[in-house]
A = this chain, B = another copy of it.
Amino acid sequence: MIRSLAVVGTGLIGTSVALAAARRGVTVHLLDASASAVRTAELLGAGTARPPEEPVDLAVLAVPPSKVADVLSEQQVRGLARSYTDVASVKAGPERDVLARAPRPTHFVGGHPLAGRERSGPLAARPDLFQDRVWVLTPSRLTSKPAFDRALDLIGLCGGVPTVMQSGAHDETVALTSHAPHLMASLVAARLGGRSPVSALLVGQGFRDATRIARGEARLWTDIIETNAAEVAGVLTALQTDLTELLTAVQDLSVRDPRNRARSRRNLIGLLERGIAALEALPAPPSGPLAADTAHVDVTITARPGELARLLDTAAGYGAGADTVAAPVTPHGGDGPLVIRFEIPAAEAETLAEKLAAAGWDVVHEDDVRDETEPALVGAPG
């Protein structure tokens, strides 16, 4: 278990991590370019502004995505910590930069806790911000097991739910679930600007909910969007197509042309129903059970650096990338073997298990998510 932590960047997320760790007895050292941000976090009980006298177990870099690699390099030269992680909501670009120029990329694992508030700054921080929320780790091909384990420790201290992904898959997904929605909300909110007070009277709870995310700090979000620009452009392009189609249908309805009306109405109903269906398919928040009919494939890995990343690459190559959730299940913090559990559609589980085993991985295949007491060996009938 980690006993000492450094938080670099005492904003909302960094201070919340510090608060969570401090209340579990970890010694927390606070760093920030702004002395007043450090002081504020210190006054909140998040830790001490005094620098550590020896390398801490783990440093959390709570800085914007474009700054991660530079700050990591700077702190590694100083010898701040034995290992490092970050909390930026974009992973692939920073990972590339880390691999290219950080002094010790093996000591780093990218991370992203899915938690936040539209308020920012240390005064908005809360120690329970991450409770029961998903926290993604994106180990690179060079990430060492100890670095990974210490990040897992931190997630445990914060009450988060760890999951493992490749950085590219992560970025593609958050473009869809976070970044593009943020921009669409900003477009809607911005349209209200400069209107009369009467418009404000007719703003209801629906509008407020729909635009809340647009309140996020503009410079941080510009950094995030820019760092994930290719994926975000992809989602926006698809939304642009959808919007054009929708606008055509609404225009047809407005001219009341009977020839197009039935079809336009069907298009409109269809869009609304697709949105409803997608929302109803979501698990109950914060993170309920995933789809039914999933099975487990558990793979035991050793402490060799990069092995976890290789496993993820291999599994992705066998088709188990996008549909699969990978999470560590061994109690973390020990030096023993780590078990990665893939949750995968049941129909695909046996194939994945066989292929991994044939490639030399140490695999246990469980047919039924619920059947915890009777793990089946690969190839045994379901």
Contact = CB atoms under 8 A, between A and B. Distances in A.
Contact of A201 (B163, B212, B219): B163
B203 A177 contact: yes
Contact of A210 (B198, B199, B210, B290): B210
Contact of A199 (B177, B180, B216, B243): B177
Contacts of A265: 222, 226
Interface in A163-210: 163, 165, 169-170, 173-174, 176-178, 180-210
A155 to B, nearest CB: 14
B281 A193 contact: yes
Contact of A197 (B225, B232, B251, B325): B325
Given A188-B180, A239-B188, A279-B215, A193 B274 contact: yes
A250 interface: yes
Contacts of A214: 272, 275-276, 279
A315 interface: no
Contacts of A176: 191-192, 195, 199
Contacts of A100: none
A71 interface: no
Complex copy number for this chain: 2
A236 B240 contact: no
Contact of A178 (B204, B215, B275, B322): B204
A11 to B, nearest CB: 17
Given A218-B269, A219-B269, A177 B198 contact: no
A251 B278 contact: no
A291 B196 CA distance: 9
Contact of A202 (B177, B218, B294): B177
Contact of A193 (B239, B250, B277): B277
A32 B215 CA distance: 42
A198 to B, nearest CB: 6
B243 A204 contact: no
A183 B243 CA distance: 9
A116 interface: yes
Q: Give the one of A251, A274, A322 with max B CB within 10 A.
A: A274
B187 A275 contact: yes
A268 interface: yes
30 contacts: A177-B203, A180-B191, A181-B206, A181-B211, A186-B271, A187-B239, A187-B246, A189-B279, A190-B275, A191-B242, A192-B278, A192-B282, A193-B274, A193-B275, A200-B282, A208-B285, A209-B210, A210-B210, A211-B279, A214-B275, A214-B276, A215-B276, A215-B279, A219-B269, A221-B272, A225-B268, A229-B253, A233-B247, A236-B247, A240-B243
Given A203-B282, A236-B247, A240-B240, 4 more contacts: A181-B188, A193-B281, A219-B269, A226-B265
